[in-house]
Each structure stands twice: as structure tokens, then as C-alpha cells.
Amino acid sequence: MVRRLWPVHPKRRIQLIAATAAVLAIVLLWAFNRDTLPKLEAMNIEVPAAARLSVAQGEDWKPAAVDPEGYATVAANSRFSLRLDPKTSQIAMLNKSNGYLWRSNPPAGQLAGETVKGTLLENMQSPYILEYTSGTETKRSVTNALDPKMTTRYTRIGTDGIQVTYTHTELHISFVLQYRITDSGFEVSVPSSGIAETGEARLFALNVLPFFGAVSKAEETGYLFVPDGPGGLVYYDRKRPAIGTVYEFPIYGEDPSHLKERERKTPREQIGFPVFGLKRGPQAFAAIVKEGQYTASVKAVLPGNISSYNTVSANFSYRQEYGRKVSGITKDVVGTIQKNRNEDDRRVEYRLLSGDAASYVGMAQAYRAYLKEGGALAAELKPVDQVPMQLSFIGGATKPRFGGSRYETATTFAQAESMVNELMRLGAGNIRVTYQGWQHSGYARSDQRFPVVPEIGGTEGAGRFVQAMHDKGIQVLFEDYMSWKQPDYSRFQVKSDGIRGIDTAVLQDRDGRFIVDPVKAVRGQKDVVDRLKELGADGIHYVEGPGDQVFSDYNPSSPLARKDTSYYYRELLDYVRNRLGTVGVVRGNDYSLGHVSFIEELPFSSSYDLMIDETVPFYPMALHGSVEYTSAAGNLRDVYDEQLLKAIEYGAVPYFRLTYSESRVLKDTDYSHIYSGEYAVWKDRIIEEYRKFNQLAAVYHQPMTGHERVSEGVYKTTYADGTSVTVNYNTKRFDVTKGGGA
């Protein structure tokens, strides 16, 4: 007898259909969400190894003798002497060449005239300011080395330093500060392994050496240096409103994972390098945050309600405060302190400068030396006969239409080739081309990249264009976005692949875009590299991601800190450069140095804070001659003449973002910000500008050795061979005076 497989009863049939549909849905969901990305191993990328600073062990150190001011020498070399006051745990650094004594805190005699009292006065006498919370409270309290419940213990670190262990007997918090003498000054470290929280109190933040080198408001001439944009100076003798007396901003900008969409802050030039400094008369220091920079802020404070001193220091965050939802049915949140402490080590190196080096130029040279010592700056660039020029062509983009969408062509590959040919006939040379708007979907933040969109020539047209450029000795890179994605045009899923904020909710902006887990984003780039290599492309230029933004991911199953993100980005940059030859980024935050071939749109302007008195080319001085960089695109400048002169003053190479068609075709697309890029309109200006930049071809490979304000609106930049470039913003002209040789 044949068995019936199909139920006779209608109800049973419906149940079977429903069960089959459910199984099919599960299978499809599994297949859709299955991780098919290449493994990191296929890209020779390893998981970052954890390396921790160790805490010194041994007997308590006690000084054999102290000088009249109470200091005992704990370490010395041919240039400096590191001293410590065992009663207060304050430190001092003696410069043996000139006898100048750098102090961690103002001397007692100066503090006698202070008007502040209580904790504020105690802070001025402490090598640190510690913020903490208690239990579930969000209220933050402050303590310091003068707290009577704070005990101090000293331990030698070999022959080059001293370790200070602080323990608060009531709060049950302990931590250590380590000081080591160096050939250039000293380092101060806060090992994570030396932190203990055995009570209800929790470490929130630690401001290390907040008054090192502090300058009284009437004591000496000079300025504070802060890493705002390319670099900012805060002069001691300027009058400013009371609200303009504190500068405190996170290195590398705000972590998106700590910000809710509704908490978006006023746009500003984010900090791209972890350096701050101070000049007082013929003395200065440059401080470099070597570890812990991803959770640190640069804090500069001017005389006011806190003290009568000008100070600048690093403030390290160990926890964040955030709004936690009360329930899933309301939008109400309650203030909450992050439970787990960030376990990064913290370390700041102070390079002490004097004489001619005691300036922002000397600070930049000290930072450049630091970068070269660590391998972040390679050998100097090769000399050129013609200055390089970067041309970025916009292929096109998808524009919404009634009932659908349509791809709008702005520049075909054939049109791009004709533009390059004409510019070369007119005298432009040493060109590099990057192509944007080539993705199949027509959307910038899409993973639907291939095949190349047919409207501009398709994959075959791209290959022919690359070969035509190679025949002229021109590199071709394709631009890509890899952090923010549009859900409708991405292989990545919001819930499974998007990073999570500190409240563990998926982070999305107003338009629903999300940031891809950086590990998955990096893995996804292998296919992009493989396909571009088949085209013969020379590299990738990352418009968004590896050079301009790092973030945390609070996904409980695979959390990542900002330093982890930067690690994977660096590994990706190395992978692209090894496979294709060239890789570029935007902004060029310092963690990308040593891993990129060039930087597009290095920041040249400040945030226009009330505190910043003068913007200086600190970061360009550290990089020039070792890394090629551009300013903003020449056809997209806000103030054309002024920004052109700024690019020349700061040593940039020319750069344009162009379309063959009228720019209006890009309106209402992902490239609508290219409001003026039509080649026919800009052709003559491009050649005129190129000739101006080409006057600096001889210094393209040279380090900057000097920069100064000659007079109001007139600035001079000097290079290694003595060549100087004087820019006059009053007359809108510049002059190049050739040097006598390096």
C-alpha cells in the first residue's frame, strides 16, 4: 500500500506548508547572514598582540640626601637630571647645559599669592588630578597627592627612573606614575597593571602633570601649543573673554560610539596628532602622547577661575558617562558610568628644548625626529623636476527620480583621458589620477562596486583608461569608502555588522547609515583589491576611514577599542600598498603615517576657537619632504586667493576634483558637494595654478627648517637648502628665494 505524503485534511496541509516555510526562512536567513568574507589570514593580518607596561617591584626607595629645595636626584645622563621631592612627589628636570629647572608644579613661593583655595590650590601642588565616582553615582569628585588619605611609595626603575605608587586608603584606589629620563627629556607612564579598585570608588579620569612648566600670567612671554588643525598657538598676553580660557578636546576627535545622534556637536577641526607644547622665554617643551592617545584629551587652561597659570597637559579618560535606556518602551535614559575601565597603558614623552629650538618650529622638529625614530616617516621623497599634481575625476552618481532613480554621468573614462591629454599639452606634468563615482550602484557608500558602472565605460573602459595613463607614466587609483554604509546598498547588515555604541545599541546617523565593524570592513577590502588589481589599478585612495576617523565598538561578542581600529586600518593600508603599490587617505591622522603614500586634504585651518590666537603649519613641518600632501581641492576653496597662498605657505601640492559635464548633474547625489568642478570652467585656472606651485618643485623633497611671521599678513617658510617662500596675504602674492644648497 502506497503511503500518502500529502495530508488529506486541509488543516494539516496548512500546518505542513507553514512548517516548510519556516524551515526555508531559517535556511535563507542563515545563508544570507553567513560570514563569507575573506579571513584576515588571507591578507596576512594578525590579531593585535597585547603588550603591557610592567610595574616595578623591589624595596622602597629613600633618598640619601636632598638639595635645599627638597629634591633628590633619582636619575641623570649627560644632558639632564631627574629629581623628585619625596615629601610632595613633585618632580623637576634640570637642563645641565643651561641650568634651567623644569618643575612639575609652581614653586611654593609663587603660590603664596594665589587667590584660589581648597582643592583648586591643592591641585596646583600635585603631579596629577584624579577624577573618580562612587558606587552607581554619576557625580564626579576630585582628589590629588595632597589628600591626607593618599599614601605614597617610591620604587627605583633600574638606573633611569623612579616609580611612585599612590594609594587612597578610603577610596581603595591605587595607581602608579613612572618617570624615566631620556636623551631628550623624560617620559611619564601610567601602567594599567598598576591600577587597583578594591572598593566602590571607580577611576574616571587622570590628568597627568597638569601644571608641568606652568607659566604665571605675568611671568614670561611665550605661548601654549595645541594640536588644533595644523597647529594652534595660544599667547599668554592676549585678552579674551572668560569663556575662552579652557581648551579640552579628544585626540582624533570624538568617538562616534560615545555620541548619540541627538548629541552631535558643533563641527570643528579634530585633533590629528597627539602633541602639545609650551614656550616660556628661551625654554620650551614638546610633549608627545605615545600610549593611551586614543582615550586622551589635550587640555590647555589659561589664567582665570582655576588658577593664575597658563598650562597644557594630557587628560586620560578611563570610563565614559552615557545615557542608558530605562526600558524598551520609552526613550527615557538614566545617566550611567561605564562599568569596565579602559585598560590601555598611558605614556607621555616630554622633549625639552632651549635656545633657538624653543619655538613651535623646534617643537615640530622634535616631533618629526620622534616620527623618524619610530619608522613613521620613511626616507625623504625623491627630487622632482615638476611638482606632482593630483586630479580626482568624478565619474557620476545615482540620482533619485520620480518612481525610481537614474545614474547621472559626469565624466566617462574617455573624457577623463582627453582632459589629462590636454592638461599635459598645456604644460602640466607629474600627474596622479584618482577616480571617484565608479561604483556599479552609483552610491559612494556602497558595496555594490563591480562591475564598474557601464555609463562611464564599464570595466573594459576602466582597464583601457588605466593602460592609457600608464603609457604616459601616470598612476591611477580608485577612491573608496569603507566605514559608513547605506543599508540598502551594502552587503553588510545593520544589526549583525554595524558597530555598537557604548549603550550596545547599533550606531546609526539621521539618514540610517551605519559604521561597519572595522575588522569586517577590512576583510571586505580583499575582494576590492583583487578586482582592482585585475584592472591594473595602482592603488586605492580611501576617502573615508583609515586616515580620518577611529572608533570603538561595544559589541559584547567582539568589542574593539579605538586603538584596535587604528591597528586594523594600518594593516589594511600596508596590504593595499603591498598588493597594488600605492595607497592614499584623507586628513592623515598620525597613526596612518608610515603606511600611506600620500595624504589628501591635510587640515590647514583651525577651529576658530576663542583661545586660538594663531594657526601655524606644525603638522606640515613635521611631514614635509617625507610625505606628499595636498590642501583642499583648488576648485572647492571657500576663499580662493587666501587658501591658494596657504597651500603654498604650507608646502602642499596642487589638487583638483573635476567633472567633464556641468557640476549640476551631481545635484541631489552623493557628490552634490562638488558644486564647481566643470573642467572647461577650470582648465585655464588649473594651468595657472600649476605654474605657481611648480616654482616650489625644487623643495618638494626637502624638510621645512623654519617658519615665521615677518609682519602682519606676511609669512616665510624656509627649507633645508636655504630656499625661502614668502607669502604676502595683503598683496596676494608670494616670492621664492633660492637657497645656496642643503
The answer on pLDDT for 394 being more than 80 is yes
User: Cis peptide before 451, with omega less than 30 degrees from 0?
Assistant: yes
Single out the residue of 68, 28, 344 nearest to residue 194, CA to CA: 344
pLDDT digits (tens, 9 = 90+) for 661-695: 999 999 999 999 999 999 999 999 999 999 999 99
Secondary structure (3-state) at 12: helix
pLDDT digits (tens, 9 = 90+) for 566-616: 999 999 999 999 999 999 999 999 999 999 999 999 999 988 777 899 999
The answer on pLDDT for 13 being more than 70 is no
What average pLDDT does range 653-665 have in this prediction?
Answer: 96
What average pLDDT does range 443-450 have in this prediction?
Answer: 89
Please report the pLDDT score of residue 435 as a whole number. 97
The share of the chain scoring above pLDDT 70, in percent, equals: 92
Q: What is the DSSP string of 361-386?
A: HHHHHHHHHHHHHTTSS-SPPPP-SS
Is-contact 559 553, C-beta < 8 A? yes
Q: Which residues contact 3 (CB under 8 A, 6 or more apart)?
A: none
Secondary structure (3-state) at 76: strand
Judge residue 14's burial from the number of C-beta atoms within 10 Å of its C-beta, 0-12 exposed, 13-18 middle, 19 or more buried.
exposed
The answer on pLDDT for 29 being more than 60 is no
How far is CA 722 from its chain centroid?
32
Pairing mode, if any, of strands 598-600 and 582-586?
parallel
Question: What residue segments make up the domains of the chain, in order of their start?
Answer: 72-373
Phi-psi domain of 4 (left: phi exceeds 0; alpha: psi -120 through 50; beta: other): beta
Question: Quick one: pLDDT band at residue 218, thresholds 50, 70, 90?
Answer: low
Single out the residue of 443, 289, 360 nearest to residue 614, CA to CA: 360
What average pLDDT does range 364-368 have in this prediction?
Answer: 98
CATH 2.60.40 fits 72-373, yes or no: no
Please report the pLDDT score of residue 1 as a whole number. 43
- What residues pair up with 285 in beta bridges, in sequence order? 278, 352
The answer on pLDDT for 268 being more than 50 is yes
Torsion, Cα 448 451 454 459, to 10 degrees, reads: 140
Please report the pLDDT score of residue 203 as a whole number. 96
Unique residue bearing C-alpha cell 581600529: 565
Please report the pLDDT score of residue 16 as a whole number. 63
Secondary structure (3-state) at 148: coil
What average pLDDT does range 60-73 have in this prediction?
Answer: 92
Phi-psi domain of 714 (left: phi exceeds 0; alpha: psi -120 through 50; beta: other): beta
Query: Three-state SS string across 647-696, please?
Result: HHHCCCECEEEEECCCHHHHCCCCCCCCCCCEHHHHHHHHHHHHHHHHHH
pLDDT digits (tens, 9 = 90+) for 465-502: 999 999 999 999 999 998 899 888 888 999 999 999 88
The answer on pLDDT for 335 being more than 80 is no
What average pLDDT does range 227-248 have in this prediction?
Answer: 88
Cell of 570: 594600518
Question: Quick one: pLDDT band at residue 538, thresholds 50, 70, 90?
Answer: very high
Please report the pLDDT score of residue 2 as a whole number. 45
* pTM, two decimal places: 0.93
The answer on pLDDT for 562 being more than 50 is yes
Choose the weakest-confidence range: 272-281, 298-307, 414-423: 298-307
The answer on pLDDT for 264 being more than 70 is no
Cα–Cα distance measured from residue 707 to residue 705, given in angstroms and rounded to the nearest whole number: 7
